[in-house]
């Protein structure tokens, strides 16, 4: 196996933007210092910490976004140092935890010991848990206790969580491929090859979206792609970013966020690109706004919420893309993708804070601090509770008092 290492790992001196989007380097992450938080802040929403826990060392120095999954009252999480764990989502009590032996990056070392560089986070459906690794494996486990079921060997890093739908486990890899694996055995059913992957791109892959027999994803060359779920054949693609510019840095145009489906309309963003609304069945553009983002939008009610590449939080009218509001109080705090929780938008930041903003006008409503480490993955909202994970594996559960 030849691992694909995106060039952002080696271009720290060329562009801080590439660093902050894909490769955390502690104090060298920012072009501008984070906007200081107001010391006289008075919350208008009541948020309480329910519990905290930890899974291994989290993402460590891998630069990937580790996002937990919450299914049927259980939170599942994984770490790049080989731990997978399940927690009671209400109390935080550990239900089970399993730790795998490691044998070095990308398989160097003792081949008899199982690799354990889990990345992206787990996917869970029924009694199956699936998780990928930084050296190109996907593991199927029993969700009740983490016991092994099957292993699939792929060609490149898996840095975003798989998707389980029906009898398929859908996986994307860093070399531009998407795989459909048999959920019972891990055997390959089909593979879609994107072809040429840009030599220079931010480190990250948006998760796959499976809906109505179609698989949607944003590509490293700034496109939204739709595949048939049963065969992997391409149905259509739509460009989200032109990839134009005088330098390689200016031409970066990754679509690294999740694709969001609301009714029959898809919403997606791209770096150096646009926020775009697209008709799902046909791929026909409905509207677009110039908008550069590393992350995913979220949709609720009449609005689309998104964070741009300077960490300004925006709300747009979902039917036509008109501005509703913009909040720049958290500028340069390198926010996560937003998640809507009732009448609030939730984001995490580079200093371990979690912020709640009012959906109506974007005003800051509450904040809590999980740790002093960056939160990179989009918060997970389940009813009145939000779950966040930082880059060192700390997990926090916070309850919002719905009023």
What is the predicted pLDDT for the residue at 25? Answer: 46
pLDDT tens figures, 178-232: 999 999 999 999 999 987 665 444 445 678 999 999 999 887 777 889 999 999 9
Assigned domain for 66 exists: yes
Assigned domain for 296 exists: yes
Would you say residue 6 has pLDDT above 50? no
Share of the chain above pLDDT 90, in %: 67
Looking at residue 118, which CATH number applies to its domain? 2.130.10.10
CA atoms of 347 and 386, how far apart (whole Å): 10
- Give helix then strand counts, H and E, for the chain: 1, 32
pLDDT tens figures, 35-80: 999 999 999 999 999 999 999 999 988 888 999 999 999 999 999 9
> Are the C-beta atoms of 122 and 161 separated by less than 8 Å?
yes
Assigned domain for 2 exists: no
Assigned domain for 35 exists: yes
Assigned domain for 1 exists: no
Half-sphere exposure of 147 (CA within 13 A, CB side): 3
pLDDT tens figures, 17-26: 333 444 444 4
Give kind and range of the element (H or E) at residue 17: helix 16-22
Q: Where are the beta strands (DSSP E) in 134-244?
A: 137-142, 148-153, 163-165, 168-172, 177-182, 188-193, 209-211, 214-218, 223-228, 234-239
Joined tokens for residue 41: 């802040």
User: Can you tell me the mean pLDDT for 223-244?
Assistant: 83
Q: How many domains does the chain have?
A: 1
Joined tokens for residue 141: 């486990």
CA atoms of 223 and 210, how far apart (whole Å): 17
In DSSP terms, 238 is beta-bridged to: 224
Tell me the average pLDDT of the chain.
Answer: 85
What range does the domain containing 92 cover? 7-400
Joined tokens for residue 153: 């060997």
pLDDT tens figures, 83-104: 999 999 999 999 999 988 644 4
pLDDT tens figures, 320-354: 999 999 999 999 999 999 999 999 999 999 999 99
Residue owning tokens 């055997």? 187
Share of the chain above pLDDT 70, in %: 80
The answer to whether the Cα torsion of 254, 27, 25, 162 is positive or negative is: negative
CA atoms of 105 and 120, how far apart (whole Å): 16
Assigned domain for 86 exists: yes
């Amino acid at each position: 196996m030849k691992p694909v290492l995106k060039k952002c790992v080696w271009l720290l001196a060329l562009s801080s933007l590439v660093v902050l989007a894909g490769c955390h380097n502690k104090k060298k992450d920012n072009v501008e210092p984070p906007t200081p938080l107001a010391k006289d802040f008075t919350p208008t929403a009541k948020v309480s910490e329910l519990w905290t826990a930890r899974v291994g060392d989290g993402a460590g120095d891998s630069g990937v976004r580790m996002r937990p999954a919450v299914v049927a009252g259980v939170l599942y999480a994984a770490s790049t140092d080989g731990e997978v764990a399940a927690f009671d989502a209400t109390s935080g009590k550990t239900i089970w935890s399993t730790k795998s032996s490691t044998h070095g990056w990308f398989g160097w070392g003792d081949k008899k010991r199982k690799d354990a560089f889990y990345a992206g986070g787990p996917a869970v459906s029924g009694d199956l848990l699936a998780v990928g690794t930084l050296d190109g494996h996907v593991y199927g486990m029993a969700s009740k206790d983490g016991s092994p079921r099957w292993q699939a060997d792929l060609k490149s890093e898996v840095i975003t969580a798989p998707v389980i739908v029906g009898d398929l486990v859908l996986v994307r890899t860093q070399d531009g491929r998407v795989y459909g694996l048999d959920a019972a055995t891990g055997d390959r059913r089909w593979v879609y090859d994107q072809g040429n992957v840009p030599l220079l791109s931010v480190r990250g892959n948006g998760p796959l979206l499976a809906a109505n027999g179609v698989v949607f994803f944003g590509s490293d060359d700034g496109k939204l792609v739709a595949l048939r779920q049963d065969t992997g054949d391409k149905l259509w693609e739509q460009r989200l970013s032109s990839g134009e510019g005088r330098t390689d840095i200016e031409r970066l145009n990754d679509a690294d966020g999740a694709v969001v489906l609301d009714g029959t309309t898809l919403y997606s963003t791209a770096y150096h690109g646009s926020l775009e609304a697209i008709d799902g069945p046909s791929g026909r553009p409905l509207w677009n706004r110039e908008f550069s983002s590393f992350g995913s939008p979220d949709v609720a009610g009449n609005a689309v919420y998104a964070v741009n590449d300077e960490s300004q939080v925006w709300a747009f009218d979902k039917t036509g893309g008109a501005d509703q509001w913009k909040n720049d109080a958290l500028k340069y705090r390198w926010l996560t993708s937003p998640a809507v929780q009732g009448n609030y938008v939730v984001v995490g930041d580079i200093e371990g804070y979690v912020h709640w903003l009012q959906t109506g006008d974007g005003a800051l409503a509450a904040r809590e601090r999980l740790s002093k480490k960056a939160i990179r993955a989009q918060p997970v909202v389940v009813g009145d509770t939000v779950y966040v994970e930082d880059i060192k594996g700390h997990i926090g559960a916070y309850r919002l008092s719905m009023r």
